[in-house]
Each structure stands twice: as structure tokens, then as C-alpha cells.
Amino acid sequence: MTGKESSEDQVDAPRKLDWRLMLPPFAVIGLYAAGIGAVLPVLPFYLREMGASPLVFGIVLGTEALSQFASAPLLGQLSDRFGRKRVLLASQSLAIVSLLLLALAQSVFVVLLARFLFGLTAGNFSAAAAYAADNSSPSTRRQAIGIVSAGGGLGAIVGAGLSSVLADISLTAPIYMALALSAAGIAVTVLGLKQGHLTRPAAKQADRERISFRAIAGLPVIRVLIIVMLCHFFAYGMYTSQLPNFLPERVVWNGQALGPREFSYIIAADGAINILVQLFLVRWLGRFFSERGLILLIFALMAIGFTSTGMAGTIPALAFAVFCISTGDALAKPTYLAALSVHVPSDRQGVVIGTGQALGAMTDVVSPVLAGFILGTGFHSVWIGTVVAIAITGAGVAATRLPRNGNPETPWRHR
């Protein structure tokens, strides 16, 4: 950072986070996540009724991730240029189109097209998180992004709860509910978000063009963060994408294999844990852990949870695994994105957060397909072993390459 930017950070540092400014993006992401939470529990069974295999399900998820990878940094950059509100409205409108197409689908190809279009709406989170970053100081940025992410946790609970009820009516009923939730998100965006400033001095615009993600990625700490994030996202993607195809063969609930209702419970539990972690635990842990310490804790929780999933044969064992993995993943998003965002000027928050989100989407292009192939051949232990090995690799990189010391309340800065 330049001396001018550092001085601005010092001025901003004493500011407290204004929670009122966080409520609109919190609600927007909550409604978006509720739509996702309503669809995901029924999607594998929706495809199964069309004769799709676990590999086809993985390809559908990979296709959605591919469009997320392409769109997230682009929409983040557009939100830097045209404003967070305009990009959110465009993304939410596309979500409505994709969900309507999904509800009317009669073939796997149409489902594939619908999920590809839905993946293009990944800019929702990057724009909302950038909005939160715009309205926070560097010292409160992790907390601000955590609040927005907590909206996703609350939305997951609501969406999964609705899905568990509506799935008994039909597998398309939760999809139509997700469509209605997307329409509500548009209303919140129109009424709740301020447009923000779209014009910048010429000098600031020149700096903005000069500071590309290539320049940002040239920083050693950013390169290490990228590797760590890739390990996390790849392991988590392999785990979540094929869990509905793994657990029904291993865990029984009330004498029956796990189905859409039970998976909606898992998503709801994940959402509840996300809310508690991102609203309360992130800030509390930040007082005692450096970024490096938090990342090591994240990977430890994930590795324990993955291993427990592979050994789970009962509901309590599965609950413990879900608790560990959900806690680790809830800590991850605000930790990673805040660590990335403090290295760029305020008018580049959208592109860097969008690029961070794109890293996850990039791994999701491959991880569901690889996991589906492994499970499709019956090598369940190989699936879990691969996931655990990737998590351990990420922990090793973080332990050996990230800064060891530092004030846990102070984000990393250029040295």
C-alpha cells in the first residue's frame, strides 16, 4: 500500500462497525442462501428421477461451479465500476430466470443449463461482501464480512426448513419457493441498499487500473493464501458434493436411509452453526489467534470432521462430523476474504473478493466430478482419504509459509 492508503487505514481503524449498514446485505445474502438451501436437498433426488448417476450429479455441480468461476471476479469488478446495487439487481433477475427453468425441466440437459445460469449469479455474494467492506474499516472488515456470511447461514436454515416441508408435496415445490425468495431479494436490494459513489478522481482511477489481481497475487502472503484457499475449497467441495450419495448407504434414521428431508436437516444445522460462528465466534477468536492460527484451527476442524464422516455409522457420530466441518468452514470465509481485502484499496474490494470467491468455484469445477467418479467406482475410503489428505496439505502450507506472529486484531499489511 502507499503511504496515503496506510494513513487512511490508521484513520479508519478506530471506527466501530455500524451494524445498521450491514442489515441490507445480510438480508440479501440470507434470501439468496435460503433459495439455495431450498433447492440443494432435492436436487440430487430430482436428477435421480431423471435417471442420473452420481457422476452426472457431479457434472451438474461442476458446470454450475464453472459459471461461478467465470462470473464472480467479473461481477465483482463490475460492482467496483457501476455500483454494488446495480450488479446485485442484475444477478438476482438472472436467478429468477434460472430457477424457473429448473422447475420446468424435463431432462438432465435442461437442469444442466439452469444450474449453469444460476452459477452466473455468484456475484451476489461478492457484491454484497464488497458493500460490507465499503462500509467498514480494515480492523472491522473480518467482522463485517462475517455478518454478511451469517446471513447465508440464516438463509440456509430457512431454506432447508422450507424444503423439508415442501419436498413432501413435490420435488419442484422447493424450487418455486426459491424463485419467490429471489424476488424478495430484489425488493430488499431496491429498498435497502444505497447506490454508492460511482465517480472517482482521475488519479484514483489510474491507481485502480494499475492494481490488477496479477499485481496483488505477486505479494508472497497473497500467493500462500491462494494455495491455502484452494486446498480448503477443493477438500470441502469433494466432501459436500457427494455427501447425499454417500450417507444413504452408511447412516439410517428411524429405520430408513437418509433422504431429502434428512439432508435438509443437515443443511439447517450447518446454517445454524454458521450464524453462531460468524456473528460471535469469529470476533472472539480474533482476540487470541493470528490469521495463521485461525487458518490452522480451520484445517484441524475440517480434517477431524472429514475423518469422522468416513467412520460415521450413527446419527450422533454424523452430528459430530457436521459440527466440526461446519464450524471450520464458517470460520474460513470471513478469515480468507478479510485477509485478501486489506491488501487492496477500497475501490478494488469487489474484484478481489470476487476473485477469492472464484477460487472456490474453480475447485468446484473439478472436485464434484472427481468425488463422483471415486464414489461411482465404490471406493468410499479413497474419497474420504483424499479429502483428508488435501486438508492436511493446506494446514502444512499455512503452518510453514504464513507469518507466525502478529496482532490478531490487526489485518496483515504490506511490509
218 domain-assigned: yes
pTM over 0.85: no
Domain count, the chain: 1
Q: What is the pLDDT of residue 205?
A: 46
205 domain-assigned: no
146 domain-assigned: yes
Please tell me the number of Cα atoms within 13 Å of 51 on its side-chain side: 4
Structural domain containing residue 110: 3-194+213-401
Residue type, 114: A
Angstrom distance (rounded) from CA 309 to CA 265: 16
292 domain-assigned: yes
107 domain-assigned: yes
Among 186, 191, 159, 196, CA closest to 175: 159
- Decide: 174 and 42 in contact? Cβ < 8 Å: yes
- The CATH number assigned to the domain holding 397 equals 1.20.1250.20
271 domain-assigned: yes
- Decide: 178 and 32 in contact? Cβ < 8 Å: no
Cell match 420435488: residue?
171
166 domain-assigned: yes
200 domain-assigned: no
Cell match 486484531: residue?
409
- Decide: 361 and 72 in contact? Cβ < 8 Å: yes
Q: Spell out the per-residue pLDDT of the chain, length 415, in tens.
A: 344 444 344 444 445 777 777 888 888 888 988 988 888 888 888 888 888 777 788 788 778 877 877 776 677 677 777 777 888 888 889 999 999 999 998 888 999 999 999 988 876 777 787 788 777 776 677 778 788 878 887 887 888 888 888 888 888 899 999 999 999 999 998 888 876 544 344 334 444 444 455 655 566 777 788 889 889 989 998 888 878 777 777 776 776 777 777 777 887 788 788 888 888 888 788 778 878 888 999 999 999 999 998 887 778 888 899 999 999 998 988 888 777 766 666 556 666 666 666 777 677 778 888 888 887 777 778 888 999 999 999 999 988 887 776 444 434 343 3
